[in-house]
Amino acid sequence: MKRQPLRNLVTLAVSAVLFVASQASAQGTSIDFWYAISGKAGETLQSMLQEFNSTNEFGITVNGTFSGSYGDTAQKVLAALAANSLPAGGLVPAGPLWTCREGNYLLEEYMAGPEGLPEDHFFPVLLDYNRYGGHLCSLPFNNSTMVMFYNKDLMAQAGLDPSAPPQTWDELLDQAKTIAKAVPGSIGVEVRDEGWWLKGLILQNGGAIVTDDASGPAFQEPAGVQALEFWKTLVDQGLMPPAQHDVSRDLFVAGRVAFLMASTATLGTVQDGAAFAYGTDLLPGKAERGSTVGGAALVMFPSTPEKELATWRLLKWLTSAENSARFTEATGYVPTGPDAASTDIVRSLIQEEPAYAAGFDQLAVSSQYPHFFEMGTMDNLLADAIEFVELGVKTPQQALDDAANGLIKEISSNQ
């Protein structure tokens, strides 16, 4: 332990030497950058990359390329890792798995370098989302949390107070019952991204998704089973239709759904399409409030010192308070840190559209489990477990036990 300070000094010294050596030759550097977001978010990012190209003082040119969906991009990165053909950087899903897990600690080195950033530039939970094995591996950018959207008109029609949406599981159940009974054709509760909400329910019930070191599942413990039993209650009482959640957002925008659990990034779609009064709030809780965060991550891949410095300068520019706030304004993703959240842009945004506030407030009660290679497998297993329960094929305990065994098997096969 006594040698740790010396090692840190050596790391800083090496970083400084690399920075000085590459600074002059970084002028005029061209870098390739992949990004896994499309639609309004992708258009906004591409516009920002073009702005960076035309305004940065270093003459850096960024060649931005849409790399496909999250799943497609993950496969593309895996192939590029094997072929040693990675871009200089990117905005990719599960960033820590393609960087620190591969022995790439460039981001951490540049964070601590001469042009670095303090960690308190970002919200802690968003940095946790970008760690692996105790190392900071990537940076936040297009992050979101899950919030509850609610239809104020349906609440009023059912005799409920539109300014008092449900705060607990019991209140959600009661209000959904009231609306479904009072308004023919209405749907009490819906969800967009089933696994994400189940994780939130587990956290709200005092449980955990995986073990502390992410070496195995924990979602099959009593807190998780109770969460899925609550889910089953919503379905069994006719308050949430089974196995049709892919159209949940459209149904909400059409005015049929009272309470929709969805990403903060859904707000833009709701704003554009809803012809009724709506609001947002934190996810209803039980023992506590809680949710995990989602989104892709900004990464650096090994290249040349010149390209690495150019990539860092791009990432630092993208995550500046002003640019993070601008991205939030255009897309509905949360600001990446306190400085961004305090900008006039974000303050004005919340004043003009209060529905943005819930997502920002949810960060304070959100948490994140460690990244591990089988995360995608876990999400698929949880989605399957939910569908089995919704269709009456398995009990919540059976479904989660089977999902846990599947995840354990997958983890073991990769060791």
- Write down the domain spans for the chain: 4-143+295-356, 145-293+368-413
Decide if domain 4-143+295-356 falls under CATH 3.40.190.10.
yes
Q: Torsions phi, psi of 131, nearest 5?
A: -105, 160
Q: What is the CATH number of domain 145-293+368-413?
A: 3.40.190.10
Residue 343: band (very low, low, confident or very high) from pLDDT cuts 50, 70, 90: very high
Helices within 24-83 (DSSP H only) = 39-55, 70-83
Which pLDDT does position 28 carry in this prediction?
87
CA distance 64 to 307: 14
Which pLDDT does position 268 carry in this prediction?
87
Which pLDDT does position 11 carry in this prediction?
45
Domains 4-143+295-356 and 145-293+368-413 share a fold: yes
* pLDDT over 70, % of the chain: 94
Question: How far from each other are the two terminal CA atoms of the chain, in whole angstroms?
Answer: 29
Q: Which residue has the higher pLDDT, 27 or 99?
A: 99
Which pLDDT does position 300 carry in this prediction?
98
Which pLDDT does position 26 carry in this prediction?
61
Q: Torsions phi, psi of 297, nearest 5?
A: -140, 145
pLDDT at 241 over 60: yes
CB 32 within 8 A of CB 87: yes
pLDDT at 2 over 50: no
pTM for the structure as a whole:
0.89
Over the stretch 137-184, which tens digit does the pLDDT of each residue have? Answer: 999 999 999 999 999 999 999 999 999 999 999 999 999 999 999 999
pLDDT at 216 over 60: yes
Which pLDDT does position 8 carry in this prediction?
44
Over the stretch 359-368, which tens digit does the pLDDT of each residue have? Answer: 999 999 999 9
Over the stretch 354-393, which tens digit does the pLDDT of each residue have? Answer: 999 999 999 999 999 989 999 999 999 999 999 999 999 9
Question: At 189, which helix (H) or strand (E)?
Answer: strand 187-191
Over the stretch 20-47, which tens digit does the pLDDT of each residue have? Answer: 444 545 678 999 999 999 998 999 999 9
pLDDT at 12 over 60: no
Over the stretch 317-334, which tens digit does the pLDDT of each residue have? Answer: 999 999 999 999 998 899
Q: What number of CA atoms fall less than 13 Å from residue 108's CA on the CB side?
A: 18
Torsion of CA 14, 139, 124, 320, to 10 degrees: 90
Q: Which residue has the higher pLDDT, 27 or 349?
A: 349
Which pLDDT does position 25 carry in this prediction?
53
Which pLDDT does position 250 carry in this prediction?
97
pLDDT at 5 over 50: no
Q: Which two tokens stand for residue 326?
A: 């601008």
pLDDT at 18 over 90: no
Which pLDDT does position 224 carry in this prediction?
98
- Work out the mean pLDDT of the chain and round it to a whole number: 93
CA distance 207 to 214: 14
pLDDT at 1 over 80: no
pLDDT at 85 over 90: yes
Distances (CA, A) of 397 to 190, 257, 380, 393, 405: 22, 28, 17, 12, 12
